[in-house]
C-alpha cells in the first residue's frame, strides 16, 4: 500500500479492532487489502461500533490534499435491489447480512441509482477542530469503481489478551496480526506479539504471544513478571523512582498511583485518572489512553462537537408497518384503528364482526367494518350499528286502500266489501268480481247453440272430405307445422246474415240460432254456425281438422235440460282412455310371467335360445298363423 502504520491508525475493543488506511483505492481494491490482512471492510452495526470509529478518526493527524476525506466501509448494494422500507435501503454488509442497529445516511436515496452497483463511504472533515460540521461521519453511496481517499478495515478474533504492565523498562510494544504496532491498545487481539522492555540489570527484553491456553482461555504465553527472576526489593532506593506508590515483587517492581490517578507513559509519574471531570459531556464520559471520550445512550448519536448528543429519529427509517411515533432515545410502533399488533410486530386486521357490533348483518373489511340491516329495516341516524323497523305504511302508494305495518315488513288490506287481488296491492269490489266471473262463464258458452232439435251422438264427429281416424286404435299422422295465420270466421254488424263460408265441400250459413247436424252412419257434420253475438264480438271458428277430435261441446241429450246452460263433461273420455290402457298392462304382465316361468324350469344344460323354439322353421304354417294371431 505504501502506507506505514502509525500508532493512532488502529483501535481495539473486546469485540475486535478497526484500522484506517489512507491511499486512493476503489472498493474492490480496498476489500482485497483488508482480506490479505485477515480482516474485511469495516461494518458499523451498533452505536458502540460507531463510537469506536469516531474515536479512530479523531485521533492522529489525518490531513491531506483535501480537508474532507472519504473512506470505504463494507456496505454495498447490487443492481435493482432497492428497498425504501429497510434501514439499509437494500444495501448488504460485506459479511452478507442486512441486520443493523445503526445507520447514518447523509441524504435520501436516489431512485436513479437503483440500477447500478453502489458502495458506501464514510466522510470526515479533517479541518473541523470544533466539531461543528454536521456531515462528519455521515454515509454516502456512490459508484464502486471510483477511487476515494482510503478505507476502514475490521478484524475479529476469538479473544483478547490484557495489556502488560510496565516492569521498569517502559511500556510494552504490541504488534498485531494486521501489522499495527502500538503501545496504547486497551485490548490486545489474539495472535499479537508483545515486546516488554526490561530495566537495566535484569533480563533482556521479553517477548510473549497472545494465545489459547490449555484451559481454553486466551492469555499470554508467559505470566508476569517477565523481566526478573530473583526476589529483590527494588523500591528501597528512591521509591523505585515512582511518583506515588512502588510495588515490589520477587523479581521486579512497578509503580502504582492512588485513587483518581493513573500511571503516566513513563511508568513512574501519575496523572489525574478521571479526565471526564473536566470534560463537558452531555451524557456519559469514558476515559481513554488519549484522554476521554463522550458517549451517548441508545437512541442518540454523538454530534460533531464530540460532547453533545442528538436524538436519532428512527421513524425516518420506516421501521414500523403502519404508524411510528418517535420519542427521545427510542420510538414506538402503532397500528391504525381497526388493526391490532401481533406478537411479531405486524398489524393484523381486527374482525369487528366477531365482536357482535352490528344489530343485523355485518361485513368486515380491512381496518373497518360495515353494518347492514335486513329488508324492511334501516340504520339509526345516531347509531348506524343498530337497525329500526321501516314503517312502509307512511310511504304513499304502497297499498291501494289499507296498510298494516309489522316488524320488518307490511301487509295491504282492503275495506269491507273489497277483496285483495293476487298482486297483494289492488282491492276489488266483491260484487264486481262476481259479476266479472259470471260474465266470463257466459262468454264461454255463448258459442254453443241452444237448440233442442240437435241430435247428439257419442260417435266421433267427422267432416266431409277428410278421413276418419279412430282416436283409440289408429295412429295419427302429424302434419307439418305452419306459421300461416289460421282462417278466421268473423260475425258482426258489417257482415251479411246470409253470407256463406265455404270449407271443403261443406257450407256454413249463419241462420238465426239454429244448428243443423247431419249424420251419416258413424259420421257427423256441422252445416251451420251460431249467429253473430249482439255485442258484435268476433268469433273464431274451429278448423275442420279440430272437429275430427272429440269436442267438449257435443253433449248427450239427457244432460241438456230446458232453460239450463250447456255443461261439459270429460269423464267419459278419461274412462275410455284408462280402461284399454289397464287391460293392455295386465296382458303384458301375464305374458311376461309365463315367459319367465317357461325359461326357469328348463334344465341348466339348455341355452337361452332353446326357449325360442316357436320361432324356428320346423313349425308348420298353421302354428305360424296361430302365433301371428296371438
Question: Domain-by-domain residue ranges, the chain?
Answer: 7-155, 160-273, 391-445, 449-476+487-595
**19-to-72, 155, 319, 448 alpha-carbon distances in Å:** 12, 8, 31, 124
Q: Provide the pLDDT for residue 618.
A: 40
Q: Provide the pLDDT for residue 426.
A: 87
Q: Among the CATH numbers 2.10.25.10, 1.10.1740.10, 3.30.450.20, 3.60.15.10, which is that of 160-273? A: 2.10.25.10
Q: Provide the pLDDT for residue 403.
A: 93
Q: Provide the pLDDT for residue 609.
A: 47
Confidence of residue 495 (pLDDT cuts 50, 70, 90): very low
Confidence of residue 468 (pLDDT cuts 50, 70, 90): very low
* 429 phi/psi in degrees, rounded to 5: -60, 135
Confidence of residue 538 (pLDDT cuts 50, 70, 90): very low
**297-to-21, 328, 329 alpha-carbon distances in Å:** 29, 10, 8
Confidence of residue 485 (pLDDT cuts 50, 70, 90): very low
**By mean pLDDT, which of 68-77, 508-517, 561-570 is the weakest?**
508-517
Place of cell 241452444: 450
C-alpha cell at 327: 420519542
Short-list 274, 256, 270, 239, CA closest to 165: 256
Q: Write out the E strands in 398-487.
A: 402-406, 409-413, 418-420, 427-429
Confidence of residue 235 (pLDDT cuts 50, 70, 90): confident
Confidence of residue 291 (pLDDT cuts 50, 70, 90): confident
The mean pLDDT of the chain is: 76
Fold of the domain built from segment(s) 7-155? Mannose-Binding Protein A; Chain A (3.10.100)
Pairwise CA distance, residues 402 & 414, whole Å:
6
- Mean pLDDT calculated for residue range 369-381: 91
**Residue 119 vs residue 434, higher pLDDT:** 119
Cα radius of gyration (the chain): 59
- What's the CATH number for 391-445? 2.10.25.10
**By mean pLDDT, which of 323-337, 494-508, 557-571 is the weakest?**
494-508
Residues with Cβ within 8 Å of 553's Cβ and at least 6 positions away in sequence, in order, are: 447, 448, 566, 568
Q: β-strand 92-93 against 40-41: which pairing, if any?
A: unpaired
- Mean pLDDT calculated for residue range 203-219: 90
Q: Provide the pLDDT for residue 573.
A: 85
Pairwise CA distance, residues 447 & 531, whole Å:
9
Pairwise CA distance, residues 423 & 301, whole Å:
81
Query: What end-to-end distance do the CA atoms of the chain give, in Å?
Result: 124
3-state helix, strand, coil in the chain (%, to 5): 20, 25, 55
Confidence of residue 48 (pLDDT cuts 50, 70, 90): very high
* 444 phi/psi in degrees, rounded to 5: -70, -35
C-alpha cell at 187: 485490548
Domains 7-155 and 160-273 share a fold: no
Amino acid at each position: 500500500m505504501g502506507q506505514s502504520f502509525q500508532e493512532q491508525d488502529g483501535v481495539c475493543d473486546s469485540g475486535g479492532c478497526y484500522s484506517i488506511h489512507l491511499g486512493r483505492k476503489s472498493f474492490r481494491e480496498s476489500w482485497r487489502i483488508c482480506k490479505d490482512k485477515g480482516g474485511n471492510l469495516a461494518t458499523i452495526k451498533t452505536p458502540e461500533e460507531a463510537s469506536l470509529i469516531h474515536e479512530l478518526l479523531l485521533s492522529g493527524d489525518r490531513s491531506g490534499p483535501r480537508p474532507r476525506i472519504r473512506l470505504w466501509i463494507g456496505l454495498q448494494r447490487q443492481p435493482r435491489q432497492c428497498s425504501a422500507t429497510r434501514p439499509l435501503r437494500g444495501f448488504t454488509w460485506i459479511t452478507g447480512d442486512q441486520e443493523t442497529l445503526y445507520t447514518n445516511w447523509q441524504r435520501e436515496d436516489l431512485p436513479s441509482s437503483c440500477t447500478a452497483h453502489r458502495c458506501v463511504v464514510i466522510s470526515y472533515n479533517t479541518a473541523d477542530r470544533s466539531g461543528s460540521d454536521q456531515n462528519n461521519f455521515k454515509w454516502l453511496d456512490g459508484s464502486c469503481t471510483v477511487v476515494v481517499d482510503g478505507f476502514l478495515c475490521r478484524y475479529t478474533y476469538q479473544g483478547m489478551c490484557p495489556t502488560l504492565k510496565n516492569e521498569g523498562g517502559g511500556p510494552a510494544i504490541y504488534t498485531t496480526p494486521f501489522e499495527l504496532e502500538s503501545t496504547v491498545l486497551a485490548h490486545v487481539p489474539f495472535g499479537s506479539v508483545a515486546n516488554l522492555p526490561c530495566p537495566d540489570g535484569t533480563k533482556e527484553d521479553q517477548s510473549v504471544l497472545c494465545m489459547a491456553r490449555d484451559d481454553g482461555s486466551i492469555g499470554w504465553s508467559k505470566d508476569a513478571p517477565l523481566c526478573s527472576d530473583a526476589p529483590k526489593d527494588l523500591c528501597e532506593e528512591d521509591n523505585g523512582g515512582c511518583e506515588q506508590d512502588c510495588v515490589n515483587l520477587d523479581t521486579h517492581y512497578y509503580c502504582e498511583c492512588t485513587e483518581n490517578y493513573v500511571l503516566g507513559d513513563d511508568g513512574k509519574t501519575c496523572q489525574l485518572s478521571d479526565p471526564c471531570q473536566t470534560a463537558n459531556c452531555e451524557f456519559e464520559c469514558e476515559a481513554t489512553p488519549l484522554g476521554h471520550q463522550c458517549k451517548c445512550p441508545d437512541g442518540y448519536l454523538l454530534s460533531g462537537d464530540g460532547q453533545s448528543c442528538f436524538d436519532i429519529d428512527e421513524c425516518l427509517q420506516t421501521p414500523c408497518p403502519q404508524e411510528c411515533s418517535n420519542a427521545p432515545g427510542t420510538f414506538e410502533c402503532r397500528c391504525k384503528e381497526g388493526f391490532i399488533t401481533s406478537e411479531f410486530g405486524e398489524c393484523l386486521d381486527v374482525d369487528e364482526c366477531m365482536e357482535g357490533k352490528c344489530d343485523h348483518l355485518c361485513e368486515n373489511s380491512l381496518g373497518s367494518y360495515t353494518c347492514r340491516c335486513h329488508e324492511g329495516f334501516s340504520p339509526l341516524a345516531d347509531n348506524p350499528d343498530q337497525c329500526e323497523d321501516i314503517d312502509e305504511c307512511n310511504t304513499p302508494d304502497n297499498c291501494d286502500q289499507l296498510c298494516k305495518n309489522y316488524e320488518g315488513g307490511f301487509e295491504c288490506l282492503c275495506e269491507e266489501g273489497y277483496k285483495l287481488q293476487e298482486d297483494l296491492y289492488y282491492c276489488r269490489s266483491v260484487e264486481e268480481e262476481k259479476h266479472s266471473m259470471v260474465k266470463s262463464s257466459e262468454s264461454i258458452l255463448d258459442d254453443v247453440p241452444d237448440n233442442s232439435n240437435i241430435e247428439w251422438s257419442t260417435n266421433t264427429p267427422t267432416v266431409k272430405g277428410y278421413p276418419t281416424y279412430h282416436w283409440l286404435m289408429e295412429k295419427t299422422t302429424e302434419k307439418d307445422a305452419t306459421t300461416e295465420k289460421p282462417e278466421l270466421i268473423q260475425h258482426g254488424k258489417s257482415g251479411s246474415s246470409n253470407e256463406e263460408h265455404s270449407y271443403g265441400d261443406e257450407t256454413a250459413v249463419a241462420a238465426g240460432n239454429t244448428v243443423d247436424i247431419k249424420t251419416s252412419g258413424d259420421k257427423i257434420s256441422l252445416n251451420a254456425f251460431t249467429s253473430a253475438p249482439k255485442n258484435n264480438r268476433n268469433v273464431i271458428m274451429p278448423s275442420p281438422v279440430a272437429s275430427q277430435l272429440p269436442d267438449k261441446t257435443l253433449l248427450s241429450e239427457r244432460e241438456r235440460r230446458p232453460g239450463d246452460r250447456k255443461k261439459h263433461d270429460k269423464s267419459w273420455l278419461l274412462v275410455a282412455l284408462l280402461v284399454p290402457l289397464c287391460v293392455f298392462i295386465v296382458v303384458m304382465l301375464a305374458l311376461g310371467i309365463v315367459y319367465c316361468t317357461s325359461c326357469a324350469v328348463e334344465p341348466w344344460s339348455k341355452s337361452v335360445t332353446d326357449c325360442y323354439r316357436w320361432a324356428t322353421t320346423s313349425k308348420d304354417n298353421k302354428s305360424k298363423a296361430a302365433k301371428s294371431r296371438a
